[in-house]
């Protein structure tokens, strides 16, 4: 990974080595901790789950959709566009993103003391 980061940074002559197509504060924090230069793209994709798609396929589809939406938003991306998605699954159901403190507390109470799964996927698009 470090070799790729160096190569992309060199190719771009100091420009952001990647575009992050995600609004996640956690993803920005991870990139900052790694010392990875990036620029955030504010994109929106439909995150509906039909209940038939496996959680793994769901997060992979969304990660790639975010990367593609970010690349489409840029006229000519000078660096790869990275999209990502994470889903928490309890009893086979993907739990949606909580909207506000009350929903966060309700989700934590629902998960407390129970086994659950967390799926994360990353998608990269370079046009």
Residue 85 known to be catalytic: yes
Of 10, 85, 91, 102, which is the active-site residue? 85
Q: How many CA atoms lie within 13 A of 39 on its CB side?
A: 15
Cβ neighbours for 27, distance < 8 A, ≥ 6 positions apart: 20, 84
Please name which of 27, 2, 14 lies closest in space to residue 79, comparing C-alpha atoms: 14
- Report CA-CA distances (Å) from 74 to 21, 29, 41, 71, 101: 11, 23, 9, 5, 34
Bridge partners of 86?
120
- Nearest-angstrom CA–CA distance, 64 and 88: 18
Bridge partners of 119?
87
Any idea which residues carry the catalytic annotation? 85
């Amino acid at each position: 990974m470090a070799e790729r980061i160096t190569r992309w940074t060199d190719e771009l002559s100091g420009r952001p080595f990647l575009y992050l197509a995600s609004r996640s504060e956690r993803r920005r924090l991870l990139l900052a901790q790694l010392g990875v230069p990036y620029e955030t793209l504010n994109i929106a994709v439909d995150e509906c789950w039909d209940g038939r798609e496996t959680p793994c396929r769901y997060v992979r589809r969304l990660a790639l959709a975010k990367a593609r939406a970010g690349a489409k938003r840029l006229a000519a991306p000078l660096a790869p566009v990275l999209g990502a998605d994470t889903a928490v699954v309890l009893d086979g159901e993907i739990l949606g993103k909580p909207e506000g403190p009350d929903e966060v507390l309700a989700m934590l109470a629902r998960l407390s003391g129970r086994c659950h799964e967390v799926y994360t996927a990353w998608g990269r698009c370079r046009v």
